[in-house]
Structure 1
Amino acid sequence: MRIAFTKMHGLGNDFVVLDAREAPLPPLNPGFAAALADRHTGIGCDQLILLEPSSLGDFRMRIFNADGSEVEACGNATRAVGLLHGAPARIETLGGMIAAAPSDGGISVEMGKPRFDWDVIPLAYPMDTHSLPVAWEELVNPIAVNVGNPHVIFFVTDPYAIDMARLGPIVENDTLFPQRINVNVAAVTARDAITLRVWERGVGLTRACGTGACATAIGAMKRGLVDRRVTITLPGGPLVIEWREDGEIVMTGAAAQSFRGSFDPADFGIDA
């Protein structure tokens, strides 16, 4: 038995998509996602995306990071899946229901409403999430936001001057964050523009992170640094984030299909 896959990316944040909406796949062992994501011995990706039937929406999307951990949300993957689906869709995720639809700017995704309560982020103990009284060297007083998954955002003068390869994993794995954390360093360059780099939980430095862009935009808006529609420029390209008056976050950006293929599950220790 061979399993078909589609390789996709959103601004360079890349995914292997497995579609089990019509026919179920064999059970995936715990190391399968990590094996498939390996760029030397697997197909290679930042996340493995599994599409399944859903009784709540048009389908369910499960997201596995390159280290094999399952996570709640991924904005870039949602745009890629929206492109693959080819029509407006309501998508069930661990982080809640989200909606994706084709638009003039690529794919627009309604990401839900941001949450700021300390126990929803979650943090290990109560703290003001709008300005955490903590620091890791030059990274100080971040804002914490949950946009389906947890983020901290540090506003700095130059994101590219920060040693994210060293500081990213330190912040991600700090005991303040019992479920680990996604780490964003951002510079506001205009009332409608932000430059961003992201250390993604379970992945590392990434060319783009949709939920990171959403969280960073919301953090900047909460601090009054930008207006309610902003372009976030990541290493992989731009995303437009709007925080509507009804509280919903809307992300718009490009996604693309790279190639299609198939693999033998036995190559990754799975009995088909």
Structure 2
Amino acid sequence: MIPFRKMHGLGNDFVIVDARPAPLPLTPARIAALSDRHHGIGCDQFITLEPEAEADVFMRIHNPDGSEAGACGNATRCVAHLLMAETGRDAVVVRTIRGDLPCERLADGPHGTNWIRADMGPPMLGWREVPLAEAMETLHLPIDLGPVSDPAACSMGNPHATFFVEALDGLDWRALGPVAEHHALLPERANIGFAEVLAPDHIRVAIWERGAGPTLACGSGACATLVNAHRRGLAGRRARIDLPGGALEVEWRLDGHVLMAGPVATAFLGRFDPAAWPE
């Protein structure tokens, strides 16, 4: 039996398993079955903790379809919270396939001890880095879906495209999201954001997540939203990002790094038998 922990950041939920003591028999098909909300445990991303000599942990991220993802901000904060509980420290480093993500606990002010801030690193803004299918400026993509058009793109370790809209209410973004995710300009698909800028320091966004669909929150998506809004001249370098599951605080520092802060929570603990799931 393999122990797991179900955690979430603003409802963006994860199954987290610990493969540091020994490798686990987890294939993409098995991860997809375990991630299914009707027949498995259910999650937005499946997270495996692996040993890492040069950081506190290596975090491997899988989408619920079994594909591997490069970044997940809310999962990073959840894993950092676990490591802080293990070590008694208020600062840890989580390594991903994108690189090292330093995290710290925010104990002052109204946040409480369950607020974690992650340094998500600098955004990647070149067309090859997103990536796009052909050379073009990433600030304006020639994608027109009728109700929405002209998104901006960047990568936060995974590709993001952000549509800016006058109002989210009444927009059928759940229908538009999968169309944009699979657009020919996005060869690796992308997380799709629909952002309503309420003020230079306040943005409301809904995100269709690549390989997962609509989620209550997406940390890397919140970061991409602020980056793209600032590049368009719609927002400052720091803002509250309201998602369906709650609010994150995001800052794009002058040194290029994007910081993202918010709460984390544990929902429950459990065990599963890997032999009961497809290989």
Matches within 5 A, 1:60-79: 60-79=58-77
**Aligned equivalent of 2:93:** 90
User: Of 189, 193, 196, which aligns to 2:202?
Assistant: 193
**Aligned equivalent of 1:19:** 18
Residue 10 of structure 1: how far off its partner (Å): 0.4
In structure 1, what is the Cα distance between the partners aligned to 2:154 and 2:191? 10
In structure 1, what is the Cα distance between the partners aligned to 2:54 and 2:252? 25
- TM-score, normalising length from structure 2? 0.93
Structure 2 residue identity aligned to 1:98: L
Establish whether residue 216 from structure 1 lines up as the match of residue 225 from structure 2: yes
**Aligned equivalent of 2:193:** 184
Deviations along 1:21-45, whole A, 9 cap, x unmatched? 2x11333222011111111111111
Residue 269 of structure 1: how far off its partner (Å): 3.4
Establish whether residue 263 from structure 1 lines up as the match of residue 261 from structure 2: no
What SS does structure 1 have at the residue aligned with 2:226? helix
* 8 Å Cα contact 2:48-2:61 kept in structure 1: yes
Structure 1 residue identity aligned to 2:177: G
What SS does structure 1 have at the residue aligned with 2:230? helix
**Aligned equivalent of 1:125:** 134
Mind listing any 5+ residue stretches in structure 1 that lack a counterpart?
Answer: none
**Aligned equivalent of 1:99:** 102
Matches within 5 A, 1:102-251: 102-104=105-107, 105=111, 106-251=115-260
Structure 1 residue identity aligned to 2:12: N
Structure 2 residue identity aligned to 1:100: C
Residue 96 of structure 1: how far off its partner (Å): 1.7
Identity score, percent: 48
Calculate the aligned-residue CA RMSD, in Å. Answer: 1.1
Paired positions, count? 268
**Aligned equivalent of 2:39:** 41
Mind listing any 5+ residue stretches in structure 2 that lack a counterpart?
Answer: none
Deviations along 1:134-166, whole A, 9 cap, x unmatched? 211121111101111110001101123221221
Residue 129 of structure 1: how far off its partner (Å): 0.5
In structure 1, what is the Cα distance between the partners aligned to 2:188 and 2:276? 31
Residue 210 of structure 1: how far off its partner (Å): 0.2
Structure 2 residue identity aligned to 1:94: I
* 8 Å Cα contact 2:26-2:274 kept in structure 1: no
Residue range with higher mean Cα deviation, 133-142 or 44-53: 133-142
Q: Considering fraction of residues, name the structure with more strand.
A: 1
Residue 268 of structure 1: how far off its partner (Å): 1.1
- TM-score, normalising length from structure 1? 0.96
Residue 85 of structure 1: how far off its partner (Å): 1.2
What SS does structure 1 have at the residue aligned with 2:169? helix
Residue range with higher mean Cα deviation, 138-147 or 85-94: 85-94
In structure 2, what is the Cα distance between the partners aligned to 1:128 and 1:161? 30
What SS does structure 2 have at the residue aligned with 1:159? coil
Residue range with higher mean Cα deviation, 222-231 or 24-33: 24-33
In structure 2, what is the Cα distance between the partners aligned to 1:212 and 1:200? 8
